[in-house]
Amino acid sequence: MNIVLQCCALAMLVTLFLIFVREKNLDLHSRRLFFFALISCIICVSLDILSIIGINAAAAGNLPPFAAKLICKFYVASLTFQSYEAFLYAAGEFFEARKKRIFRTVYQIWTFGGMVLIFGLPIDYTLNGREVYSYGPATVVTYIVVLVLIVSTIIMAFRGNGYSTRQRRWAILLWQGSWLAAALIQLLAPSLLLVGFAAAFGMLIIYAELENPHEGIDRMTGQYTANALQSYVGDLYQHRRTFSSIHILVEYLTENVEMEAGKAAMLGIAEFLNRDRAAYVFRSADDGFVVIYRNRERMEAEYGRIRSGLQNAVSMPVRFRYIVMPDSSILDTADEYFRFHHYCIYEAEEKDELIVNRVTVAGMREYSDIKELIRTALDDGRVEVFYQPFYEVSTGRFSAAEALVRIRDLDGRVILPGVFVPIAEDNGLIIPLGMEIFRQVCVFLATGIPQKLGLNYVEVNLSVAQFERENPTEFAVRIMEENHVDPSLINFEITETANNSAKQVLLKNMNKLIDYGVHFSLDDFGTGRSNLDYFVDMPVSTIKFDYSFTQSYFQNMKAKDLLESMIDLMHKMGLKIVSEGVETLEQMRAMAALGVEFIQGFYFSQPLPQEEFLRFLQENNATSVVKERREHGGLRVSYTEGSAGVYGTGEMAVPGPSLDL
């Protein structure tokens, strides 16, 4: 009998089935579809073999002809069913959307309606040497139904990047194409029974290209990879299956961990976590581990064991931090799940444990909204610069200002930097944000108007990240030259948060910009790294006392003595001082008496939009006003009417005085 190829195909399929069911795998929806396609292919090839045996038996008089015809009907019906299962596999997630499920119903009616016709219509067979095949109305229906399904399968494979990858499209095309080619060859040469073998060959292609789980296994630890985690979590959310997860962050407490020691630690952790067969363990992109449970009660029971035993799984000092999500339904999508974990890594930085609840999720969503707000504000031109003036004690003028960033939301409300700057720093958005602020300042100075009104320079905040990920010398010089701005009009503020690793790069770039003609201030002195060696090494000309440092002078005797000593020391070093956060007349007089060169605070003005700031300079730097100050030793300060309430919540609003002192 001509069943050699079919027997080979069946052997291939059974071997593939045994490998498939025994290997470590994730319970993905696509994997279940592949399993059904594989089973249908095994049934189809088995019935193909059985139909050939039946036809030979009927020809020899050992089987009634009707029985052979019935077997042939089951075989051609199984071809239809196998084609339908292949179509479902190719369709993937297409039918999961509610609006598209009607298409699945249409194909179900087409397939099973065709099978009903196959069993209702007559079929016959022929046996001529090695030529064995069935024919008749039932087989014609089979050809039509299968052809439509094969064409639909190929179309589904190429229906767009939104549903299918390039690898998936070509694998399915090769699968269906080889099957279709085998059918055409068999039609022209009936003795070559290739259809069953081509179907088995196609299943091997799909397994090797798309369903081989070893591609998702981390070679070092034997656990699933970060890519497998994305696939699994995406599948769970797609099909609305809830789960619980534990994200374990691993932090080595020893510097310069050797490769072998780090590998041994990872293996120890992986082996410990793998003891629970009810869990799926993944090695995450941050070199930690994510453990997923389909049962919340099981997760809660195992979490205590993990926390108590994991420390003993490694032989080197390691700190473990845990992000525990008892219920995945608290988040809406897989994308939100991964964004949330990225957010929680920073939230849990100082904590050993973070239990996810609706409060933390609300915080993450606000974080994501603000990040998107920054992006769209940069794209749509909703980033604005406000200016807060500095009062120069020796001249009685407002001769400098600090440029402060604001963002307007779509409703026109002003968002303060305390809301969005930390998030911009986390996501690298501080770099384009800083460049946009500097560009606006240079455009402002290029008009020449603020200089005519007595402004000598503008202080611009420059993030340390600008030095780590961008060439500040290049972009700063380029923007100044494009706008023909004198570099002496620019004073960059550097915060005290630069660590030692960034310090050398920072100093190199600062000196380049100083050679070009700009100046630098050390911002927020009194917070962060306030050790002397830090600002002694910095090539700055001005030190800015932080708001809290200035206020402490009036609240604490020790702080008062310290601030007076620091002022004396800085003056001996040739540094000028700006005192931030001055809010009352008494505070202003005290700072002036200490010899502080510049005073900044709500006593004089809140940060002002550009036009209001120009009016402020015009009203307060007029020649007659300056002369009055010098003659009477006093100060005249006025606020632009209507400016209050523009600055949003989070800043103290002090009514603007109009005083003669």
Question: Which three-class secondary structure state does DSSP give residue 610?
Answer: helix
pLDDT score recorded for residue 361: 87
Number of domains in the chain: 3
Extract the tokens encoding 513. Answer: 């910009």
Sorted by sequence, the CB contacts under 8 Å of residue 375 that are 6+ apart come out as 429
Contact between 249 and 345 (Cβ < 8 Å): yes
Higher pLDDT, 561 or 538: 561
pLDDT score recorded for residue 513: 92
- Between CA 122 and CA 129 the distance in angstroms is 24
- Between CA 661 and CA 136 the distance in angstroms is 112
Q: How far apart are the first and last CA of the chain?
A: 116
Mean of the per-residue pLDDT values for the chain? 83
In terms of Cα–Cα distance, which of 344, 365, 345, 367 is closest to 356? 344
Region 615-631 average pLDDT: 69
427 lies in the same domain as 571: yes
Higher pLDDT, 214 or 28: 28
Contact between 40 and 78 (Cβ < 8 Å): yes
In a domain, 641, yes or no: no
β-bridge mates for residue 576, sequence order: 542
Alpha helices in 189-282 (DSSP H): 195-206, 226-238, 259-273
Highest mean predicted confidence (pLDDT) among 503-507, 544-548, 595-599: 595-599
In terms of Cα–Cα distance, which of 655, 653, 606, 657 is closest to 634? 657
In a domain, 248, yes or no: yes
How long a stretch of residues is the chain?
661
- Between CA 608 and CA 387 the distance in angstroms is 5
Q: Which of 95-99, 176-180, 574-578, 637-641 has the lowest mean pLDDT?
A: 637-641
- Between CA 413 and CA 416 the distance in angstroms is 10
- Between CA 391 and CA 211 the distance in angstroms is 70
Axis crossing angle, helix 65-91 with helix 29-59, rounded to the nearest 10? 160
- Between CA 633 and CA 593 the distance in angstroms is 13
At 434-467, the pLDDT tens digits run 999 999 999 999 999 999 999 999 999 887 777 6
pLDDT score recorded for residue 655: 34
Question: Which three-class secondary structure state does DSSP give residue 616?
Answer: helix
428 lies in the same domain as 466: yes
- Between CA 364 and CA 526 the distance in angstroms is 31
Distances from the Cα of 297 to the Cαs of 51, 300, 302, 326, in angstroms? 51, 5, 9, 9
Q: Is residue 496 predicted with pLDDT exceeding 70? A: no
- When computed from its CA atoms, the radius of gyration of the chain, rounded to whole angstroms, is 37
Residue 112: pLDDT band with limits 50, 70, 90:
very high
Name the residue with tokens 């994991």. Answer: 310
| Domain final residue, candidates 197, 214, 231 | 214
In a domain, 366, yes or no: no
Extract the tokens encoding 471. Answer: 């060439």
| Domain final residue, candidates 214, 237, 259 | 214
In a domain, 656, yes or no: no
Residue 649: pLDDT band with limits 50, 70, 90:
very low
Contact between 471 and 438 (Cβ < 8 Å): no
170 lies in the same domain as 36: yes
Contact between 16 and 204 (Cβ < 8 Å): yes
Rounding to the nearest 10 degrees, give the CA dihedral for residues 23, 26, 27, 29.
Answer: -110
72 lies in the same domain as 209: yes
Q: Is residue 625 predicted with pLDDT exceeding 70? A: no
Residue 98: pLDDT band with limits 50, 70, 90:
low
Residue 623: pLDDT band with limits 50, 70, 90:
low
Q: Is residue 389 predicted with pLDDT exceeding 90? A: yes
43 lies in the same domain as 181: yes
pLDDT score recorded for residue 654: 33
490 lies in the same domain as 560: yes
pLDDT score recorded for residue 500: 57
What is the 3-state secondary structure of 343-394?
A: HHHHHCCCCCEEECCHHHHHHHHHHHHHHHHHHHHHHHCCEEEEEEEEEECC
In terms of Cα–Cα distance, which of 329, 338, 251 is closest to 296? 329
Higher pLDDT, 380 or 181: 380
Region 536-552 average pLDDT: 87
In terms of Cα–Cα distance, which of 537, 542, 465, 480 is closest to 513? 480
In a domain, 193, yes or no: yes
Question: Which three-class secondary structure state does DSSP give residue 193?
Answer: coil
- Give just the sign of the alpha carbon dihedral 280, 285, 289, 291: negative
245 lies in the same domain as 202: no
399 lies in the same domain as 513: yes
Distance of alpha carbon 51 from the chain centroid: 55
At 36-86, the pLDDT tens digits run 999 999 999 999 899 989 988 998 889 999 999 999 999 999 999 998 998
Q: Is residue 626 predicted with pLDDT exceeding 90? A: no
In terms of Cα–Cα distance, which of 12, 22, 26 is closest to 211? 26
pLDDT score recorded for residue 527: 64
| Domain final residue, candidates 182, 214, 246 | 214
Q: Is residue 23 predicted with pLDDT exceeding 90? A: no
pLDDT score recorded for residue 559: 86
Extract the tokens encoding 550. Answer: 């200035």
Sorted by sequence, the CB contacts under 8 Å of residue 500 that are 6+ apart come out as none
73 lies in the same domain as 210: yes
CATH number at residue 269: 3.30.70.270
pLDDT score recorded for residue 349: 65
292 lies in the same domain as 439: no
| pTM of this structure | 0.61
- Between CA 286 and CA 141 the distance in angstroms is 56
Name the residue with tokens 């439509």. Answer: 148
In terms of Cα–Cα distance, which of 661, 614, 613 is closest to 637? 661
Higher pLDDT, 24 or 614: 614
438 lies in the same domain as 567: yes
In a domain, 363, yes or no: no
CATH number at residue 177: 1.20.1070
409 lies in the same domain as 439: yes
In a domain, 654, yes or no: no
In a domain, 375, yes or no: no
In terms of Cα–Cα distance, which of 591, 500, 574 is closest to 540? 574
Distance of alpha carbon 15 from the chain centroid: 41
Residue 611: pLDDT band with limits 50, 70, 90:
very high
582 is in which domain, residue-wise? 380-632
- Between CA 200 and CA 388 the distance in angstroms is 75
Highest mean predicted confidence (pLDDT) among 125-139, 523-537, 638-652: 125-139
Highest mean predicted confidence (pLDDT) among 20-29, 47-56, 399-408: 399-408
Distances from the Cα of 646 to the Cαs of 386, 602, 605, 653, in angstroms? 11, 14, 13, 10
- Between CA 407 and CA 389 the distance in angstroms is 20
pLDDT score recorded for residue 316: 83
CATH number at residue 458: 3.20.20.450
